[in-house]
Amino acid sequence: MPFKYGITIENGMALFTAGQMAYYASWYLKSRMGVRKPLVLTMVITYDCNLACEHCMIRDNLDRIPQPHSIGYEEAIEEMRSLHKEGARILFFEGGEPTLWREGERTLDDLIAAGKRMGYYVTGYTTNGTATIFEKSDVISVSLDGPREIHDRIRAPGVYDKLMDNLASIDHPNIFANMVVNKTNIDHVEETVRLVADHDRLSGIMINFLTPPPYDIALSMEEKEKVIGMLIDLKDQGLPILNTTKALEELLIEDYGDLCPLWMSAFVMPDRTRHYGCPFAGESCKRCGFDAVREYRLITKGNYQAITQMSKRFALSRR
Protein backbone atom coordinates (compact mmCIF):
# COMPACT_ATOMS: atom_id res chain seq x y z
CA MET A 1 0.00 0.00 0.00
CA PRO A 2 1.39 3.46 -0.84
CA PHE A 3 2.29 5.60 2.17
CA LYS A 4 -0.08 8.38 1.16
CA TYR A 5 -0.10 10.00 4.58
CA GLY A 6 3.30 8.89 5.77
CA ILE A 7 2.05 6.28 8.26
CA THR A 8 0.63 2.83 7.67
CA ILE A 9 -0.65 0.72 10.56
CA GLU A 10 -1.25 -3.01 10.47
CA ASN A 11 -4.05 -4.37 12.65
CA GLY A 12 -4.81 -8.01 11.92
CA MET A 13 -5.83 -8.12 8.28
CA ALA A 14 -6.49 -4.40 8.10
CA LEU A 15 -4.08 -1.98 6.52
CA PHE A 16 -5.13 1.61 6.77
CA THR A 17 -3.68 5.10 6.69
CA ALA A 18 -3.51 7.70 9.38
CA GLY A 19 -5.49 9.96 7.05
CA GLN A 20 -8.47 7.63 7.17
CA MET A 21 -8.36 7.48 10.95
CA ALA A 22 -8.14 11.24 11.14
CA TYR A 23 -11.14 11.65 8.86
CA TYR A 24 -13.29 9.25 10.89
CA ALA A 25 -12.26 10.90 14.13
CA SER A 26 -13.17 14.32 12.73
CA TRP A 27 -16.50 13.01 11.41
CA TYR A 28 -17.31 11.51 14.81
CA LEU A 29 -16.43 14.63 16.79
CA LYS A 30 -18.46 16.82 14.44
CA SER A 31 -21.43 14.45 14.70
CA ARG A 32 -21.31 14.78 18.49
CA MET A 33 -21.54 18.52 18.00
CA GLY A 34 -24.60 18.20 15.77
CA VAL A 35 -23.00 18.21 12.31
CA ARG A 36 -24.92 15.58 10.38
CA LYS A 37 -23.11 14.19 7.33
CA PRO A 38 -23.58 10.75 5.76
CA LEU A 39 -20.65 8.40 6.17
CA VAL A 40 -22.00 5.42 4.21
CA LEU A 41 -23.40 5.45 0.68
CA THR A 42 -25.41 2.44 -0.48
CA MET A 43 -26.02 2.36 -4.23
CA VAL A 44 -28.91 0.11 -5.25
CA ILE A 45 -27.68 -0.26 -8.81
CA THR A 46 -30.23 -2.78 -10.09
CA TYR A 47 -33.40 -4.56 -9.07
CA ASP A 48 -32.63 -7.40 -11.49
CA CYS A 49 -31.85 -10.77 -9.94
CA ASN A 50 -31.36 -14.34 -11.13
CA LEU A 51 -33.15 -15.78 -8.07
CA ALA A 52 -36.55 -15.40 -6.39
CA CYS A 53 -35.82 -15.93 -2.70
CA GLU A 54 -38.75 -16.50 -0.38
CA HIS A 55 -37.89 -13.60 1.95
CA CYS A 56 -37.18 -10.96 -0.72
CA MET A 57 -39.53 -7.96 -0.62
CA ILE A 58 -38.33 -6.81 -4.06
CA ARG A 59 -39.42 -10.08 -5.65
CA ASP A 60 -43.04 -9.48 -4.70
CA ASN A 61 -43.08 -5.78 -5.63
CA LEU A 62 -41.30 -5.57 -8.99
CA ASP A 63 -44.46 -4.44 -10.79
CA ARG A 64 -44.72 -1.45 -8.42
CA ILE A 65 -41.07 -0.44 -8.48
CA PRO A 66 -40.35 2.67 -10.60
CA GLN A 67 -38.40 2.35 -13.83
CA PRO A 68 -35.55 2.18 -14.64
CA HIS A 69 -34.67 -1.03 -12.84
CA SER A 70 -30.93 -0.32 -13.25
CA ILE A 71 -28.98 2.91 -12.94
CA GLY A 72 -26.74 4.07 -15.79
CA TYR A 73 -22.98 4.33 -15.36
CA GLU A 74 -22.73 8.11 -15.71
CA GLU A 75 -25.72 8.60 -13.42
CA ALA A 76 -24.12 6.33 -10.81
CA ILE A 77 -20.85 8.25 -11.06
CA GLU A 78 -22.65 11.56 -10.53
CA GLU A 79 -24.40 10.26 -7.42
CA MET A 80 -21.23 8.72 -6.02
CA ARG A 81 -19.32 11.96 -6.56
CA SER A 82 -22.12 14.06 -5.03
CA LEU A 83 -22.32 11.93 -1.86
CA HIS A 84 -18.53 11.87 -1.55
CA LYS A 85 -18.61 15.67 -1.46
CA GLU A 86 -21.25 15.44 1.28
CA GLY A 87 -18.91 13.32 3.36
CA ALA A 88 -19.49 9.64 2.51
CA ARG A 89 -16.34 7.50 2.52
CA ILE A 90 -17.78 3.97 2.62
CA LEU A 91 -19.47 2.74 -0.57
CA PHE A 92 -21.64 -0.36 -0.88
CA PHE A 93 -23.42 -1.71 -3.96
CA GLU A 94 -26.68 -3.60 -3.56
CA GLY A 95 -29.56 -4.98 -5.63
CA GLY A 96 -31.36 -7.08 -6.71
CA GLU A 97 -28.14 -8.88 -7.54
CA PRO A 98 -25.48 -6.19 -8.09
CA THR A 99 -23.05 -8.50 -9.89
CA LEU A 100 -25.56 -8.69 -12.77
CA TRP A 101 -25.31 -4.93 -13.41
CA ARG A 102 -24.07 -4.12 -16.91
CA GLU A 103 -23.89 -1.13 -19.20
CA GLY A 104 -22.20 -2.08 -22.45
CA GLU A 105 -18.79 -3.44 -21.53
CA ARG A 106 -18.94 -1.93 -18.06
CA THR A 107 -19.53 -4.13 -15.02
CA LEU A 108 -19.58 -3.78 -11.25
CA ASP A 109 -15.78 -3.78 -11.39
CA ASP A 110 -15.90 -0.42 -13.16
CA LEU A 111 -18.11 1.11 -10.46
CA ILE A 112 -15.82 -0.25 -7.75
CA ALA A 113 -12.77 1.22 -9.51
CA ALA A 114 -14.52 4.58 -9.96
CA GLY A 115 -15.38 4.72 -6.26
CA LYS A 116 -11.75 4.10 -5.30
CA ARG A 117 -10.55 6.82 -7.69
CA MET A 118 -12.97 9.29 -6.12
CA GLY A 119 -11.53 8.66 -2.69
CA TYR A 120 -13.92 6.22 -1.04
CA TYR A 121 -11.90 4.37 1.56
CA VAL A 122 -13.85 1.12 1.32
CA THR A 123 -16.04 -0.47 -1.33
CA GLY A 124 -18.25 -3.49 -0.79
CA TYR A 125 -21.25 -5.34 -2.13
CA THR A 126 -23.70 -8.09 -1.24
CA THR A 127 -24.16 -11.04 -3.60
CA ASN A 128 -25.91 -14.38 -3.76
CA GLY A 129 -22.61 -15.72 -5.07
CA THR A 130 -23.99 -17.55 -8.10
CA ALA A 131 -22.62 -15.19 -10.77
CA THR A 132 -19.25 -13.45 -11.14
CA ILE A 133 -17.56 -12.52 -7.88
CA PHE A 134 -15.66 -9.26 -8.34
CA GLU A 135 -12.55 -9.46 -6.18
CA LYS A 136 -11.37 -5.82 -6.39
CA SER A 137 -13.88 -4.82 -3.73
CA ASP A 138 -12.59 -4.39 -0.18
CA VAL A 139 -15.56 -6.22 1.34
CA ILE A 140 -17.72 -8.98 -0.11
CA SER A 141 -20.88 -10.11 1.64
CA VAL A 142 -22.33 -13.42 0.46
CA SER A 143 -25.84 -14.45 1.37
CA LEU A 144 -25.93 -17.73 3.27
CA ASP A 145 -29.25 -18.89 4.70
CA GLY A 146 -28.20 -22.22 6.13
CA PRO A 147 -26.73 -25.59 5.15
CA ARG A 148 -27.35 -26.87 1.62
CA GLU A 149 -30.93 -28.13 2.03
CA ILE A 150 -32.16 -25.00 3.83
CA HIS A 151 -30.26 -22.53 1.65
CA ASP A 152 -31.65 -24.12 -1.51
CA ARG A 153 -35.16 -24.26 -0.05
CA ILE A 154 -35.07 -20.50 0.49
CA ARG A 155 -33.34 -19.61 -2.79
CA ALA A 156 -33.43 -22.36 -5.44
CA PRO A 157 -32.08 -25.88 -6.01
CA GLY A 158 -28.34 -25.94 -6.70
CA VAL A 159 -27.65 -22.42 -5.38
CA TYR A 160 -25.66 -23.60 -2.35
CA ASP A 161 -23.25 -25.69 -4.42
CA LYS A 162 -22.80 -22.88 -6.94
CA LEU A 163 -21.97 -20.44 -4.13
CA MET A 164 -19.46 -22.82 -2.58
CA ASP A 165 -17.83 -23.55 -5.95
CA ASN A 166 -17.42 -19.83 -6.60
CA LEU A 167 -15.96 -19.22 -3.15
CA ALA A 168 -13.44 -22.01 -3.70
CA SER A 169 -12.23 -20.33 -6.89
CA ILE A 170 -11.22 -17.00 -5.33
CA ASP A 171 -8.75 -15.79 -2.73
CA HIS A 172 -9.98 -12.67 -0.94
CA PRO A 173 -9.19 -11.61 2.64
CA ASN A 174 -12.55 -10.11 3.58
CA ILE A 175 -15.52 -12.24 2.55
CA PHE A 176 -18.21 -12.74 5.14
CA ALA A 177 -21.56 -14.50 5.20
CA ASN A 178 -24.82 -12.67 5.71
CA MET A 179 -27.73 -14.63 7.18
CA VAL A 180 -31.34 -13.48 7.48
CA VAL A 181 -33.01 -15.57 10.17
CA ASN A 182 -36.66 -16.48 9.64
CA LYS A 183 -38.99 -19.38 10.35
CA THR A 184 -37.48 -21.49 7.55
CA ASN A 185 -33.93 -21.48 8.91
CA ILE A 186 -34.33 -20.69 12.63
CA ASP A 187 -33.41 -24.25 13.64
CA HIS A 188 -30.17 -24.08 11.65
CA VAL A 189 -28.56 -20.89 12.95
CA GLU A 190 -25.86 -22.56 15.06
CA GLU A 191 -25.15 -25.05 12.27
CA THR A 192 -24.65 -22.16 9.85
CA VAL A 193 -22.35 -20.28 12.23
CA ARG A 194 -20.20 -23.39 12.66
CA LEU A 195 -20.21 -23.98 8.90
CA VAL A 196 -18.77 -20.47 8.44
CA ALA A 197 -16.21 -21.05 11.21
CA ASP A 198 -14.94 -24.13 9.36
CA HIS A 199 -14.90 -22.50 5.91
CA ASP A 200 -11.46 -21.32 4.74
CA ARG A 201 -12.83 -18.54 2.53
CA LEU A 202 -15.32 -16.98 4.97
CA SER A 203 -14.01 -14.70 7.70
CA GLY A 204 -17.22 -14.44 9.71
CA ILE A 205 -20.99 -14.18 9.65
CA MET A 206 -23.35 -11.26 10.16
CA ILE A 207 -26.79 -12.15 11.50
CA ASN A 208 -29.97 -10.22 10.69
CA PHE A 209 -33.63 -10.87 11.33
CA LEU A 210 -36.15 -10.65 8.53
CA THR A 211 -37.64 -7.20 8.08
CA PRO A 212 -41.12 -8.03 6.80
CA PRO A 213 -42.82 -8.30 4.39
CA PRO A 214 -43.30 -11.21 4.03
CA TYR A 215 -44.88 -11.51 7.47
CA ASP A 216 -45.66 -15.22 7.51
CA ILE A 217 -42.03 -16.28 7.96
CA ALA A 218 -40.99 -13.47 10.33
CA LEU A 219 -40.03 -14.56 13.84
CA SER A 220 -42.00 -13.90 16.99
CA MET A 221 -40.33 -12.03 19.84
CA GLU A 222 -40.00 -15.26 21.80
CA GLU A 223 -38.19 -16.89 18.86
CA LYS A 224 -35.92 -13.88 18.48
CA GLU A 225 -34.99 -13.95 22.17
CA LYS A 226 -33.92 -17.60 21.89
CA VAL A 227 -31.81 -16.88 18.79
CA ILE A 228 -30.09 -13.88 20.38
CA GLY A 229 -29.30 -15.78 23.57
CA MET A 230 -27.73 -18.57 21.54
CA LEU A 231 -25.74 -16.15 19.35
CA ILE A 232 -24.29 -14.29 22.32
CA ASP A 233 -23.25 -17.62 23.82
CA LEU A 234 -21.62 -18.71 20.55
CA LYS A 235 -19.86 -15.36 20.24
CA ASP A 236 -18.55 -15.74 23.79
CA GLN A 237 -17.17 -19.12 22.74
CA GLY A 238 -15.10 -17.39 20.05
CA LEU A 239 -17.16 -18.29 16.99
CA PRO A 240 -16.88 -15.67 14.20
CA ILE A 241 -20.14 -13.75 14.69
CA LEU A 242 -19.42 -10.25 13.43
CA ASN A 243 -22.35 -8.49 15.13
CA THR A 244 -21.29 -6.75 18.31
CA THR A 245 -22.89 -8.10 21.47
CA LYS A 246 -24.74 -4.85 22.14
CA ALA A 247 -26.14 -4.75 18.60
CA LEU A 248 -27.35 -8.34 18.98
CA GLU A 249 -29.20 -7.30 22.11
CA GLU A 250 -30.69 -4.32 20.28
CA LEU A 251 -32.05 -6.59 17.54
CA LEU A 252 -34.74 -7.31 20.14
CA ILE A 253 -35.85 -3.68 19.87
CA GLU A 254 -38.19 -4.20 16.95
CA ASP A 255 -39.38 -0.64 16.43
CA TYR A 256 -36.10 1.12 15.70
CA GLY A 257 -37.57 4.14 13.97
CA ASP A 258 -36.81 6.68 16.70
CA LEU A 259 -33.35 5.24 17.36
CA CYS A 260 -32.08 4.84 13.79
CA PRO A 261 -29.44 7.47 12.85
CA LEU A 262 -30.99 8.17 9.45
CA TRP A 263 -28.45 10.88 8.63
CA MET A 264 -25.48 8.50 8.83
CA SER A 265 -26.25 6.57 5.64
CA ALA A 266 -27.52 7.60 2.23
CA PHE A 267 -29.26 5.34 -0.28
CA VAL A 268 -29.47 5.99 -4.02
CA MET A 269 -31.99 3.93 -5.98
CA PRO A 270 -31.84 2.99 -9.70
CA ASP A 271 -34.14 5.92 -10.61
CA ARG A 272 -31.76 8.22 -8.65
CA THR A 273 -34.21 8.72 -5.82
CA ARG A 274 -32.13 9.54 -2.77
CA HIS A 275 -32.94 8.58 0.81
CA TYR A 276 -31.16 9.35 4.05
CA GLY A 277 -31.65 6.26 6.10
CA CYS A 278 -33.55 3.19 4.96
CA PRO A 279 -35.50 3.61 1.69
CA PHE A 280 -38.21 1.44 3.24
CA ALA A 281 -38.54 3.62 6.33
CA GLY A 282 -42.04 3.76 7.73
CA GLU A 283 -43.99 0.60 8.41
CA SER A 284 -40.85 -1.56 8.06
CA CYS A 285 -39.21 0.32 10.96
CA LYS A 286 -41.75 -1.22 13.35
CA ARG A 287 -40.24 -4.69 12.82
CA CYS A 288 -36.73 -3.81 11.65
CA GLY A 289 -34.36 -6.77 11.61
CA PHE A 290 -31.32 -5.06 10.07
CA ASP A 291 -28.24 -5.26 12.29
CA ALA A 292 -26.25 -2.51 10.54
CA VAL A 293 -28.49 0.29 11.82
CA ARG A 294 -27.84 -0.93 15.37
CA GLU A 295 -24.10 -0.81 14.74
CA TYR A 296 -24.46 2.68 13.20
CA ARG A 297 -26.30 3.96 16.27
CA LEU A 298 -23.76 2.45 18.64
CA ILE A 299 -20.94 4.08 16.70
CA THR A 300 -22.60 7.49 16.96
CA LYS A 301 -22.96 6.92 20.72
CA GLY A 302 -19.26 6.14 21.11
CA ASN A 303 -19.61 2.40 21.80
CA TYR A 304 -16.01 1.14 21.81
CA GLN A 305 -16.81 -2.38 20.62
CA ALA A 306 -18.88 -1.16 17.66
CA ILE A 307 -16.29 1.42 16.63
CA THR A 308 -13.32 -0.93 16.75
CA GLN A 309 -14.94 -4.08 15.38
CA MET A 310 -16.98 -2.44 12.63
CA SER A 311 -14.17 -0.14 11.47
CA LYS A 312 -11.66 -2.98 11.22
CA ARG A 313 -14.04 -5.02 9.12
CA PHE A 314 -15.99 -2.49 7.08
CA ALA A 315 -14.42 0.97 7.14
CA LEU A 316 -10.65 0.69 6.63
CA SER A 317 -8.83 0.04 3.37
CA ARG A 318 -7.58 -3.52 3.02
CA ARG A 319 -6.41 -3.98 -0.58
Q: Is the pLDDT of residue 219 over 60?
A: yes
Q: Among residues of the chain, what percentage have pLDDT more than 90?
A: 81
Q: Is the pLDDT of residue 63 over 80?
A: no
Q: What is the CA radius of gyration of the chain?
A: 19
Q: Which of 4-8, 10-14, 263-267 has the lowest mean pLDDT?
A: 4-8
The mean per-residue pLDDT over the stretch 211-218 comes to: 93
Task: Please report which confidence band the pLDDT of residue 64 belongs to, taking 50, 70 and 90 as the band edges.
Answer: low
Mean pLDDT of the chain: 91
pLDDT score, position 61: 64
Domains of the chain: 37-303 (3.20.20.70)
Task: Please report which confidence band the pLDDT of residue 16 belongs to, taking 50, 70 and 90 as the band edges.
Answer: low
The mean per-residue pLDDT over the stretch 250-254 comes to: 97
Q: What is the pTM of this model?
A: 0.91
pLDDT score, position 5: 31
Give the pLDDT confidence of 280-317 residue by residue, as tens digits: 777 778 899 999 999 999 999 999 999 999 988 888 77
The mean per-residue pLDDT over the stretch 122-141 comes to: 96
pLDDT score, position 261: 93
pLDDT score, position 282: 73
